[in-house]
A and B are shown apart, each in its own frame.
Chain A
Amino acid sequence: MFDLDRWREIFQAISKNKLRTALSGFTIAFAILLFTLLFGVGNGLKHTFEKQFAGDSQNSIYINSGRTTKPYKGLQSGRGIQFRNDDSKFINEKFPDKIQYFSPNIQRSMQVIYKGEQNRYTVRAVYPDYQPLESAVVEEGRFLTYLDVERRSKVVAIGRLVEKDLFGNLSAIGKNLNIEGISYKVVGVFSDPGGDNDERFIYTPFSTFQGMYKPNDELDYIGMTFNPDLNVDQAIAFSNLLTKMLKEKHNVDPRDQGAIRVRNYAEGTKNVQSFMMVLNVIILFIGIGTLIAGIIGISNIMVYIVKERTKELGIRKALGATPKSIVGMIMMESIFVTALAGYSGLMIGVFTLKALGKSLEKYFILNPSVETYVVVGATIVLVIAGTIAGYIPAKRAASIKPIVALNDE
């Protein structure tokens, strides 16, 4: 293998027969280039989807109540279900290790006034845990604290756009807002990656609203995040169990879809994952297709090359070349050319992806790239295919009688 003389023979054959070297090299390089580009673009699509869904808090669960749609245990349908503080307690006691953040919520659309400016905003009375749930980012001041909740303080944290609407370019911190006749002090301003809507919320302590806008232990809905250590299936199993237990607690038919509604973001994640899997399968098929095309190409070319060299092989045989040395020569040439071409195709592909990367973002292709092991694997597959493809005709050429090879025209 490392016989220098042998390599010299091969290099000469390669460099003096440019057409056939170019032919086989081009096939391999092109196949690998195509493979790399397709894989890269496919990965780019995947990245786009991953990013799209990563914006939201992926592990959120929201629990809403409504009216029953089925009679159950002697109770009529159409009965309203009301969540209370003991539901919060119940959930936290049953699933202490499944829950990461938790907050009950009372939500009203209210008229908000600051000096001459006024507007309608959604005001949410929540626990401090609501901040990570919404993935809100404090820009100025602070968010709500448990002390606020304890003291039923009349404080608010407002969205960036609320500040802009009501205060213009001035800071809202420390100012008092009039919300339907009651004065609240602004303690913080936040931004939210969720977009404009999410930046027009106003948050106030849960306890401040309860009793004032809602009877003493009632609440509107519950928001929480599940423990991020749970995988998608575990998270879905958790919310299913939670739903079942809440329905039991409120005497709701297990099949009733209206009375208690639990929305688990993990379901969406699961859909995204299924979609990704389909995308992956498509990419895989395209990749395998490209490789097969490459393999067929290189096989044909090897047959052509060996055929074209038949007379030369006959001469070599007449001069004393053994079948083994003939096969070895063709194979080594084939491996060398395919490996080199495969590597160039890979490099061109990787650099093309790098160069095109940014400009493809408008086609929903984000950071198109390929894992090294994938392209290297593909290159190796093609080199092996080229080797096998070269072996069969080489073996045949080596085994025909020298005189037959010599008389080949």
Chain B
Amino acid sequence: MIKIEKLHKSYPIGKDSLHVLKGIDLHIKEGEFVAIMGSSGSGKSTLLNIVGLLDTHDEGIYKLNGQVIENLDETKAATLRNKFLGFIFQSFNLITYKTAVENVALPLYYQGMGRKDRQKVAMKYLEKVGLKERANHLPNELSGGEKQRVAVARALATQPKVVLADEPTGALDSKTSHSVMELLKDINREGMTVFVITHEEDIAEQTDRIVRLKDGVIISDEKVNKTVTA
């Protein structure tokens, strides 16, 4: 599903440039549930954004669903994101003036789905995350956990192949974190590839595979042994 070879990324900082990803090799198969761990500034978000086509890489090869990503124009990138990818962000990134159900329906709008169908599908996913009753509330009327569940519903609405989550529980307390992780596990069980950034060990351990990043290189990549605690 995701194949990355010798990927490099630098950010220009004034005259210098900051080398953030220094040759990443990573292969994620369809249906995997992968966590990326690493200290702050190690390049986790950068990697996820490149995978999510929100940013571009400088060197190396990136293949998404068999398609080589290179010199992609924004229109094509937008279409690919809409079709294959769902996003969950630490800061939720809901549109403030849209209700929960309207937020969930938005990616379907960009897919060209009719209004009635959008409404129906969005309601279905809100129900799935347990927020059917809150459908017509604005984001600022929802708790952090609820907002993130709306974001999960929105990520799922287009039935993407890959769900990318950048510290989805970073702004939540442990109880709501748990419910969001349960949702991600559910999604994964249904066959979606889930790629989640976290710096919390107990979150990472709920996934199948942990990739550790340090200073822009992968220092370890191992399957999680469900019976053993690290």
Contacts and interface: CB of A to CB of B under 8 A. Distances in A.
A317 interface: yes
B75 A320 contact: no
B75 A403 contact: no
Interface residues of A, number: 27
A324 B82 contact: no
Interface stretch (B21-29, B103-111, B171-179): B103-111
Interface string B60-103: 00000000000000110111011100010100011111100010
Given A325-B110, A399-B74, A320 B79 contact: yes
Interface stretch (A4-12, A128-136, A181-189, A260-268): A4-12
Interface in B104-156: 106-107, 109-111, 114-115, 154
Nearest to B110: A320
Given A318-B87, A319-B106, A403-B54, A12 B97 contact: yes
B79 to A, nearest CB: 7
A315 B95 contact: yes
B54 A402 contact: yes
Given A13-B97, A16-B97, A403 B49 contact: yes
A322 interface: yes
B182 interface: no
SS class of chain A's interface: helix, strand, loop or mixed? helix
A317 B94 CA distance: 13
A321 B78 contact: yes
Contact of A312 (B52, B81, B95): B95
Contact of B55 (A13, A311, A322, A403): A403
B50 to A, nearest CB: 9
A47 interface: no
A318 B89 CA distance: 11
Given A13-B97, A316-B110, A401 B75 contact: no
B95 A323 contact: no
Interface of A: 5, 8-9, 12-13, 16-17, 311-312, 314-325, 398-399, 401-403, 406
Interface of B: 49, 52-56, 74-75, 77-79, 81-83, 87, 89, 93-98, 102, 106-107, 109-111, 114-115, 154, 158
- Closest A-B pairs by Cβ, 9 of them: A320-B82, A16-B97, A320-B110, A403-B54, A319-B107, A402-B54, A322-B78, A403-B55, A322-B75
19 contacts: A5-B109, A8-B115, A12-B97, A312-B95, A312-B96, A314-B93, A316-B110, A317-B74, A318-B52, A318-B93, A319-B82, A319-B107, A319-B110, A320-B79, A320-B82, A322-B78, A324-B75, A398-B74, A401-B56
